[in-house]
Chain A
Amino acid sequence: MFNLNSGRWWFHPILIVYSLFSVFPFLWILSASFQAKEVISSDQMSIIPGAITFQNYIDVFSKTPFPKWFLNSILVSTAATVIGLFIAATAAFGFSQFRFPGRKTGLYLFLCVQMFPGAVLLLPLFRLLSWFGLLDNYLGLVIAYCTISLPFCVWMLKGFFDTIPKAIIEAASIDGLTHFQTFYKIVLPLSLPGIAVTGFFSFITAWNEFMFANTFLFDSDKMTLAVGLKTFLSEKQSFWELLSPGSVIVTLPILLFFLVAQKWLISGLTSGAVKE
């Protein structure tokens, strides 16, 4: 692992230290998830478990509707990612390749929505969803998630599309490709790192979001993971014996998704191939 000849050996100490800092609280949660209920809430709780038990994991799956929440979250997050990415990519393509009146204003309008504190948007969004009959409905929630993730995705993808040389697009139109074909066959494959980042961003936004999910869904059978996890906190007590294994399991799919998405980051499509 420590290839001293490469001249990059000094990366490792820095990265190890930072990685430790970064996983530190997670280690606490991970360790709590393997300890007995009585130990977690006492003075004896330490980061290295004295006695390991899997009871918490068994409890969270058998005594709570955790598996159901998990499936709901997968459904909502995937839908939010796919729909969000589609809208963002097409919008970004338009903003990047065409000049039209209101282009700049439109881009900044996207940002405006983000400048409101999320809690203030809650009531207006609630009213809108209520008018359209989308309360207690996954579609409504997915649309609400798009309002959070779209601004970043559009700006990010626009940045990527901008770097694609004009010559390639022109060549495509000379070859008789329609706009959509250009977008689909040329622009998208050239911006895979951007797609990976924005896709990951959309997914994670939907996966960990609590406020919208809690307000726009009523039926507890439809609850997502973030909301479900919060039912493990009652008025005065926190049930860490359920919260900690729950959090560990919630974190894993994201890391898995990241592992898949980051392939596009690592392979680093040699942009040289498309150089003029």
Chain B
Amino acid sequence: MSFRRRVKRIFFQQFLDAVSKLTNLQETKIKAQKENDSILEQAAMQEQKLLLSSVSSNPIAALYSKLPADNFGRSYLDALIFDGSGSPGANASQTQILARKLSGLISKSIERRKKILSDGGPRFVGLRNYFELLGKTDSDFWKVLWQTIFWTATNVFFHFLIGLCLALMLNKRFRGNTVYRLLIMVPWAVPSFVAAFSWRFMFNYPDGLINGILRVAGFNAINFLGNPGLMLPTCILINVWAGVPFMMITLLGGLQNISEDMYEAAKIDGANTWQKFLNITLPCLKPVASIAVLLGVIWTFNMFNIIYLVTLGNEAIEKDIFVTFAYKSFRTHGDYGGAAAYAVIILSILLSFASRYSSLLEREERKGRT
């Protein structure tokens, strides 16, 4: 919808005309007053009254007559109708302000949001969203990209390492096995926002539980969530905590599928524990492990809740990864197109990773066979 039509829709042409006429009549009136022309002054005033009554059926006029005198909205209209400061044709910046007031519209991003949500759905804009996004890629963008990679790599590494160790232990039968499994599952079972909030309380500075422990141990309290350098590592710790159960249970499922006979045969061949692990467990676990790692990378890359909720209230970008960064930009600019462009960039990064990863796996498989 064009700007003018928008103006018309909101204010109606009739009213716009009336406003212009009114302001001009006001000018005439003042001029007449100066020149002591009482007849012209009277006529102008009469015309003004007539105009006002003719627009009184207009919603704006209706609102105007009902609002208390000290209301903002009323003072806008006041300015517009009587003192001439918002008079059309003033200098450019004033016209700009007037146009804003008339249309009630300020920025492009809101207009786009409106298009997607109400004015007949999205419209094809070519590559505009991408150009804009890449045009904005200042140092923040690259910083966040590296943080995302660091975040993903460390998280998945620890998820897999800890998950595998725990799964190997819990795959054996011993007393208390079920209890341990149950306790290790707890992070997955707690609703994530509750878990994030309780971690936030525990990392509180200076009086949180963890700082209490540090102090008892003779260290100084650490501002985990206020210090930009420590926020990301703290979030990684929390996300490792949250992600291990999934990895553990998936690998445990995979381990269950390895036939006991193979170990028996290896035992007969005189293999030690390490050799059994390297030659039987790992290769047999590979189908399950590779998909778990791939999904782990994808999920961690897009992991929103932990960082967002744990550091809620701290707006530094030193803790941001792509999704939280994009979300922040969406919250401020409200641009669905821009958010979708971000999502496609995330998708293409992950897709290129996934294809590289799977071809690597296949190559190794082929090597293994020959």
Closest to B116 in A: A123
> A255 touches which one: B182, B199, B304 (CB < 8 A)?
B182
Contact A22 B257, beta carbon cutoff 8 Å: no
Q: Does A144 contact B (CB under 8 A)?
A: no
Set B256, B304, B346, B347: member contacting A193, Cβ < 8 A: B256
B182 near A265 with CB under 8 A, answer no
Interface size class of A (residues with CB under 8 A): 35 or more
Q: Which of B17-25, B36-44, B88-96, B287-295 touches A? A: B287-295
Chain B nearest CB: distance from A121 CB in Å?
8
Work out how many contacts link A and B, with CB atoms closer than 8 A: 201
Q: Could you say which of B172, B302, B354 contacts A8, with CB atoms under 8 Å apart?
A: B172
The smallest beta-carbon distance between A132 and chain B, in angstroms, is 17
A142 on interface, CB distance cutoff 8 Å: no
Looking across the interface, which residue of chain A has its beta carbon closest to that of B346?
A117
Q: Is A47 in contact with B209, judged by CB distance below 8 angstroms?
A: yes
> Which of A28, A155, A225, A255 interacts with B201 by CB under 8 Å?
A28
Q: Which B residues are in CB contact (< 8 Å) with A238?
A: 197
What's the dominant secondary structure at chain A's contact region?
helix
Residues on A with beta carbons closer than 8 Å to the beta carbon of B13: none
- Whether B194 contacts A160 by the Cβ 8 Å rule is no
Closest residue of B by beta carbon distance from A160 = B257
Give the contacts of B183-204 with A (CB-CB under 8 A). Answer: 183-195, 197-199, 201-202
Nearest CB of B to A263, in Å: 9
In the complex, how many angstroms separate the beta carbon of A131 from the nearest chain B beta carbon? 12
Q: Which residues of A contact B294 (CB under 8 A)?
A: 111
Contact B354 A111, beta carbon cutoff 8 Å: yes
The reply to whether the CB of A114 lies closer than 8 angstroms to some CB of chain B is: yes
Instruction: Across the interface, name the chain B residue whose C-beta is closest to A162.
Output: B287
A96, chain B: closest CB distance, angstroms? 11
Task: Check A251–B190 contact: CB distance below 8 A.
Answer: yes
Chain B proximity of A31: nearest CB distance (Å)? 10
Q: Which of B173, B177, B190, B298 contacts A115 (CB 8 A)?
A: B298
Residues of A within 8 A of B323 (CB): 117, 119
Supply 10 A–B pairs (Cβ within 8 Å), ascending by A. Answer: A11-B174, A12-B176, A18-B166, A18-B184, A117-B343, A123-B336, A159-B287, A258-B181, A268-B256, A271-B260
- Nearest first, the 5 A-B pairs at minimum CB distance are A254-B189, A197-B253, A19-B183, A193-B256, A120-B343
With A120-B342, A196-B253, A258-B185 already in contact, 19 other A-B pairs whose C-beta atoms are closer than 8 Å: A8-B174, A11-B172, A15-B176, A19-B183, A22-B183, A25-B187, A25-B241, A28-B209, A108-B358, A112-B347, A120-B339, A160-B288, A163-B284, A208-B189, A229-B193, A247-B190, A251-B186, A251-B191, A271-B259
